[in-house]
Structure 1
């Protein structure tokens, strides 16, 4: 059934892909408001107009990270449908963490892509078993992407040191150490692994290989 209310934009650096998705959208009755090779071009073309869903490729070669592109699209008020090839699991993980609403492989039939667009436009979420299986098989999925200083803070704090001692050992202010700790907790929340207590932080640090406990119960 046609739905003239759904507006779609396409961001892919391959013209043939843009043309193919545009044709499928038009056949479905969706309105294609823009089709560009980069998110920056999309911003210019939309010129402040709204859009329900942006079908976004992950490998644009535009100098921006996946996180930056997804967040930029989200800032325009659109849902993000990632349209990617099947060996991009790490990039898919990053896109989902950044707020993408779903993922469809480029091998999927056009009808599947259009159904995904309709789902996201209606405020729904995708449950794509193919990608879920790929992500579950990836040992890196769900691991918080901590910077080295954040890892240092987590290692010392989860080892049992009070925050004041963590700050002293790292040569930083206690307030700075707390900021790092807040950032660490936020990153674990983002990947669906909250760590509210010190015990939970210890568990996350062990799960992610940031610290380990030897047979005598000593942290290393």
Structure 2
């Protein structure tokens, strides 16, 4: 069962999402409200576990910013999907940089919204037209100044290879590959795009087009992935 919280200052939007989630299998709306403060207050009073996924409107009426809302929700233990109109790419990029798992337009079909919730609840990166448009519009957002070696290590590691296999593929010591991944994480933090987990590194590699780079390296085999 995926526990979902809806935070939007438009009641009609929340009611529509509540109805859709009620009809969706394995989806439970545990909170519906207009601000992140209300949600966190409910959490404190009820001592309920954090929602697995929060559908968050980009701009709320209480004057809070996308960055602080996303950071507060992630810090509380939830994944965040921005659910908003697609005419504010700069604000969307701000939310993504703060750690939001992705963005779904309010004009999207409800099935697409529910699909996004399921994807993020599984810990998978959410990639869609809205997400791609927001990233493509700002190359500074997508540039962590990685070296060629760091890009090679990240590409193989994010593609699913264990770090030891990455080292073997590149002909370097395991400690060298590990140091490269550490430097990659530090560089992403420095540009406001932290990547503490392997899923986060996959998202960063996709954002920067690193997984799409051509290489003589063959895709990882099933035996390599299992090591």
Choose 1 or 2 for highest CA Rg: 1
Q: Partner residue of 2:13?
A: 17
Deviation at 1:143, TM superposition (A): 7.4
Distance 1:189 1:31, change over 3 A: closer
Q: How far did residue 88 of structure 1 move? A: 1.4
**1:33 counterpart residue number:** 30
Query: Cα distance 1:13–1:185, how it changes in 2: closer, same or farther (>3 A)?
Result: closer
Scaled by the length of structure 2, the TM-score of the pair is 0.60
Contact 1:143–1:191 (8 Å) recurs in 2: no
Counterpart contact for 1:89–1:138, Cα < 8 Å: no
Distance (Å, rounded) in 1 between the aligned partners of 2:194 and 2:56: 21
Q: CA deviation at 1:82?
A: 0.5
Give the 3 Å change call, closer, same or farther, for CA 57–143 of structure 1 in structure 2: farther
Distance change >3 Å, CA 8–CA 185, structure 1 → 2: closer
1:189/1:134 CA distance change after superposition, 3 Å: closer
SS at match of 2:6: strand
SS in 1 for 2:103: strand
Provide the residue aligned with 2:191 in structure 1. Answer: 188
Q: Relative to 1, partners in 2 of residues 1:18 and 1:141: Cα closer, same or farther, differing over 3 Å? A: same
* Unmatched tracts of structure 2, length 5 or more: 145-185, 196-227
Please give the secondary structure, in 1, of the residue aligned with 2:31: strand
Residue 77 of structure 1 corresponds to: 77
> 1:116 maps to which residue?
116
Which secondary structure does the structure 2 equivalent of 1:108 belong to? coil
Q: Return closer, same or farther for 1:17/1:137 CA change in 2, 3 Å cut-off.
A: same
Q: Is the 8 A contact 2:82 2:100 kept in 1?
A: yes
1:49 CA drift (Å): 1.8
Figure out how many residues of one structure are paired with residues of the other and give that number.
150
Distance of 1:13 and 1:32 partners within structure 2: 16
